[in-house]
Amino acid sequence: MAGLDRECSGPRLARSQIALVAALLGCAALGWAVTDARMRGMDAGPGTDLGALGFYTISWVVMMAAMMFPSVVPMVLGYARVERGMRTRGRAGSSAAFVCGYLVVWTVFGLLAYGLFDGVKAMSIDALRWDHDGKYLAGAVIVLAAAYQLTPAKDACLRRCRDPFTFLAEEWRDGRAGALKMGTLHGAWCAGCCWALMAALFALGVMSLGWMAFVAAIVAFEKLVPWRRIATHAVAATLLGLGLGVGLVPGRIPGLTLPSSAAARHAMQSMQTAMPRMQNHRMRGK
């Protein structure tokens, strides 16, 4: 797109861009605070009940803002730089619409994950219980995430996530509707890059603030550090070790709540206290 290089370049961020970074990081910090307040004491480990759909959906959107906004800063800044130049030509867009489009994709992803996770749990397969083969399944999901790190699909998606210039040059759309569409496109590439990491989060305990922070750190690490291949291989090795540990020696994994433990039982009681309708919802599903 003509003029993109000029709009994306500059010796330093303008005040508006500094404000944009502050807004994104501020929303992320607020997301962490709200997530902690909503989910404190609810970590029952792998297979943690997700609760009612409304509770889960709100929690998931807030989680995505907390986990993903720091790593999406370069892309949003790139969009804002170009959009500011386009605005002088009567082709205004919206950084807010771009971010909303991004969150829409992750919301849809979260709802699909809820349906799959809840559907499998509703089948009450004894073999998937933690004290049967559940720990092996959880470990296998994390090992799968490690393997995905080394696939061409992961590499292609990560390249797009790490390169705002190419994405903006190829996918630019004018106006707020265009910004929303661009946000959904970037969200789709991001979901393609990170879906396996999110699956690993479910396998570790989706209500755990500690494992959320772990996955968020991985996302930021592989998207923001300059050494792409080193980052992906380091993450793959970390996930492989973690997956094997969860499957074979789960009691030795720091921060992992074992579903058979007293802490897990207390977490389930906390969820039922916080969401009294959840128990009836589960009873209707049996």
Whether residue 11 is predicted with pLDDT greater than 70 in this model: the reply is no
271 within domain boundaries: no
Look at residue 28 and tell me if it is in a domain.
yes
Q: Per-residue pLDDT for 250 more than 90? A: yes
Please give the pLDDT value at position 70: 94
Whether residue 109 is contained in a domain is answered as yes
- Whether 134 maps to a domain, the answer reads yes
User: Residue 194: CB partners within 8 Å, gap ≥ 6?
Assistant: 219
Closest CA to 236 of 211, 187, 200, 204: 200
pLDDT score of 253 more than 80: yes
How far are the Cα atoms of 9, 29, 63, 220 from residue 26, in angstroms, in the given order?
25, 5, 14, 16
Average pLDDT, the chain: 87
What is the rounded average pLDDT of the residues 142-160? 96
Q: Which of 63, 60, 72, 62 is nearest to 102 (CA)?
A: 72
What's the CA angle centered on 94, arms 90 and 100, to 5 degrees? 155
Instruction: Look at residue 284 and tell me whether its pLDDT is greater than 90.
Output: no
Q: What is the mean pLDDT of residues 254-274?
A: 79
pLDDT tens-digit profile of 29-40?
999 999 998 888
Give a yes or no: residue 283 inside a domain.
no
Q: Print the domain residue range for 209.
A: 15-256
If one counts the domains in the chain, the total is 1
Residue 29 lies in a domain: yes
B/e letters for 48-74, b = 16+ CB within 10 Å, e = fewer, are bbbbeeebbbebbbbbbbbbbbbbbbb
Three-state SS sequence of 21-55: HHHHHHHHHHHHHHHHHHHCCCCCCCCCCCCCHHH
Confidence class of residue 71 from pLDDT cuts 50, 70 and 90? very high
Question: Sign of torsion, CA 231 66 144 158?
Answer: negative
Q: What's the pTM?
A: 0.86
How far is 183 from 75, CA to CA, in rounded Å? 10
pLDDT digits (tens, 9 = 90+) for 153-179: 999 999 999 999 899 989 998 888 999
Indicate whether 273 belongs to any domain. no
**Considering the domain boundaries, does residue 216 fall inside one?**
yes
